[in-house]
Amino acid sequence: MSHIATYPTVQSTNRPAMAHINHQHLQHNYALLQERAGSAEIMAVVKANAYGHGIESIASSLSDAGCQSFAVTDAYEGFVLRQSLVIQNSVEITLLSGLFSPADAELASSARLSPIITEDQHIQWLQDADFNAHVWIKVDSGMNRMGAADPAKLIRQCREANISICGIMSHLACADECDHPMNQIQFERFTQICDEIAPELPRSLLNSAGMVTMPEHTMSIVRPGIALYGAEPVPSTPMGLKPVMSLHGSIMQLREVPSGTPVSYGASFVASQSTSIATVSLGYADGVPRALSGIGSVYINGSICPIIGRVCMDYTMIDVSHIDAAVGDQVEFWGDHILANDVATQLNTISYTLFTGVGSRAQRINGTSL
Ligand SMILES: Cc1ncc(COP(=O)(O)O)c(C=O)c1O
């Protein structure tokens, strides 16, 4: 007698925890950025699983829109993207954090990835790995995060080792603040470094916010990330971007409770009157920030409704007393109706943390509308 059970084929959870990814909006954003970039090339920043949106589908869509250059964090992310075959083999994949070990250099070599380099030992690792792709020279123009101590020496060493250089790159610290003096200081320092050490090499300075704040300095290549995903990098100067991700759960339970009823962990919310409570199938393990407890809002059936009590791991409770709501109704935490930037501002953070915080158990549903 066999004790082996037969199970149905299961592809994914039936729990409604969904990040809808709108590819029409993604392509709209790409086209807007392309227009702004003018003759400069776009290096689409798709690190951290395309800011939580799902790297394969995002890269595939951008590739369909004509994108020829992508940036990820490290060799592993680059390798996964190369292996996915969603982009043509000729497409450049840049590693914005460069190389962490000789093994990374070998991966970069076999998957034809283009790391930034900042240290002498990177060149040694690349030579040992018979590297024959390209590298970027990363210089520090004022952010004091990553950059070669002696970029001129690094360029000389690359040339001696026959390592081909794509260009010189730097990153802005304050691009989202139009009037910040750092922007001009960094631009001038970067220009001076490039002019001095390798005036002939391509240059790249601007991220999304830089494309708004310093549109005249697109140089050879721009590197937008957040703008692709539809969050305005400088909200006071909107570009007309459209949100790509909408984070949705749905109403699992509705209960009418009398005044005096506590809700959720800690009983920190107590109904002050008869209240209709919707329990929604999304919690902090899906990416709903726990800090939204008692202060955030969601969008249901055309109305904004408050989050009441503490956000739980798998659930969030909503006051739906003022609307018509039913079990199964869709609940938006951010997306087309509640901008991720607004949620981020409320929490004193940035939309990047919301997108990258969306848990792996929330399904990414790819489409062109909701
Ligand atoms: C070196 C570098 N370039 C470009 C970007 C893209 O920045 P943003 O998403 O602000 O456009 C990042 C993001 O952190 C980065 O680290």
**Number of residues that make up the chain:** 370
Residue 314 Cα to chain centre, angstroms = 23
Q: Is 104:74 a contact under the CB 8 Å cutoff?
A: yes
Evaluate whether residue 332 is within a structural domain: yes
Q: What pTM, to 2 d.p., does this model score?
A: 0.96
- The token pair at 278 is 């919707």
- List the beta bridge partners of residue 54: none
Q: Do 214 and 356 fall within a single domain? A: no
Give domain status of residue 211, yes or no: yes
- pLDDT of res. 3: 72
Work out which ligand 1 atom sits closest to the CA atom of 227: 11
Phi, psi of 173 (to 5 degrees): -90, -30
pLDDT digit string (tens) for 120-158? 999 999 999 999 899 999 999 999 999 999 999 999 999
From 138, 153, 265, 299, the catalytic residue: 265
CA of residue 319 to ligand 1 center, whole Å: 38
Range(s) of the domain holding residue 73: 38-229
Paired sense of beta strands 221-222 and 41-42, if any: parallel
242 is catalytic: no
Boundary of a domain, candidates 199, 229, 259: 229
pLDDT at 9: 84
Q: Are residues 143 and 209 in the same domain?
A: yes
Residue 181 forms part of a structural domain: yes
Q: Are residues 215 and 76 in the same domain?
A: yes
Domain-terminating residue out of 198, 229, 260: 229
Residue-wise over 356-366: b if at least 16 C-beta within 10 A, else e? eebbeebbbbb
Distance CA 253, CA 293 (A): 19
| Phi, psi (deg, nearest 5) at residue 122 | -60, -40
Q: Which atom of ligand 1 is nearest to the CA of 47?
A: 13
Please tell me if the CB atom of residue 45 comes closer than 6 angstroms to any atom of ligand 1. yes
What pLDDT is recorded for position 1?
A: 56
> Does the active-site annotation cover 138?
no
CA of 168 to the centre of ligand 1 (A): 15
pLDDT of residue 361: 92
* Spatial separation of the C-alpha atoms in residues 122 and 161, rounded to whole Å: 12
Nearest 10 degrees: Cα torsion 167, 172, 177, 181? -100
Q: Could you list the pLDDT tens digit for every one of the 370 residues in the chain? A: 567 788 888 878 899 999 999 999 999 999 999 999 999 999 999 999 999 999 999 999 999 999 999 999 999 999 999 999 888 899 999 999 999 999 999 999 999 999 999 999 999 999 999 998 999 999 999 999 999 999 999 999 999 999 999 999 999 999 999 999 999 999 999 999 999 999 999 999 999 999 999 999 999 999 999 999 999 999 999 999 999 999 999 999 999 999 999 999 999 999 999 999 999 999 999 999 999 999 999 999 999 999 999 999 999 999 999 999 999 999 999 999 999 999 999 999 999 999 999 999 999 999 986 5
Q: Are residues 198 and 76 in the same domain?
A: yes
224 and 253 in a single domain? The answer is: no
Which residue is closest in CA terms to ligand 1's atom 8?
A: 225
Q: How far is the CA of 177 from the centre of ligand 1 (A)?
A: 15
Those residues whose C-beta lies under 8 Å from the C-beta of residue 186, and which sit 6 or more positions away, are 141, 142, 143, 170, 172, 173, 205
The pLDDT assigned to 10 comes to 80
Q: Are residues 221 and 185 in the same domain?
A: yes
Q: Which CATH number fits the domain that encloses residue 314?
A: 2.40.37.10
Instruction: State the residue for tokens 């969030």.
Output: 316
Tell me, yes or no, whether 25 lies in a domain. Answer: no
Residue 225 Cβ inside 6 Å of ligand 1? The answer reads yes
The DSSP letter of residue 87 is S
What is the pLDDT, as a whole number, of residue 2? 60
For the beta carbon of residue 96, count every other beta carbon within 10 angstroms: 22
DSSP 158-206: HHHTT-EEEEEE---SSTTSTT-HHHHHHHHHHHHHHHHH-TTS-EE--
Predicted confidence at residue 100, as pLDDT, reads: 98
* Catalytically annotated residue among 7, 30, 47, 284: 47
Phi, psi of 86 (to 5 degrees): -85, -10
Residues 175 and 53 in one domain: yes
- One domain, residues 189 and 260: no
The single residue listed with the structure tokens 């409604």 is 16
Among 30, 95, 204, 207, say which to mutate for ligand 1: greatest number of ligand atoms within 8 Å of CB: 207
Closest ligand 1 atom, CA of 96?
1
Q: Does any domain span residue 83?
A: yes
Domain-located, residue 263:
yes
DSSP run (H or E) holding 369? none
pLDDT of residue 5: 80
Pairwise CA distance, residues 235 & 213, whole Å: 11
42 and 159 in a single domain? The answer is yes
In eight-state DSSP terms, residue 294 is: T
| Cα 278 from Cα 306, distance rounded (Å) | 10
Q: Based on the fold, state whether residues 304 and 167 are members of the same structural domain.
A: no
The total number of structural domains in the chain stands at 2
Among left, alpha and beta (phi > 0; psi -120 to 50; other), residue 224 is beta
Both 177 and 214 in one domain: the answer is yes
* Claim to verify: residue 167 and residue 280 sit in the same structural domain: no
pLDDT at site 13:
86
Q: What is the enclosing helix (H) or strand (E) of 240?
A: none
**Does the beta carbon of 224 lie inside 6 Å of ligand 1?**
yes
Q: Would you state the pLDDT for residue 4?
A: 75
| 237 found inside a domain | no
From the CA of 6, how far away is ligand 1's center (Å)? 48
27 burial type by CB count under 10 A (0-12 exposed, 13-18 middle, 19+ buried): buried
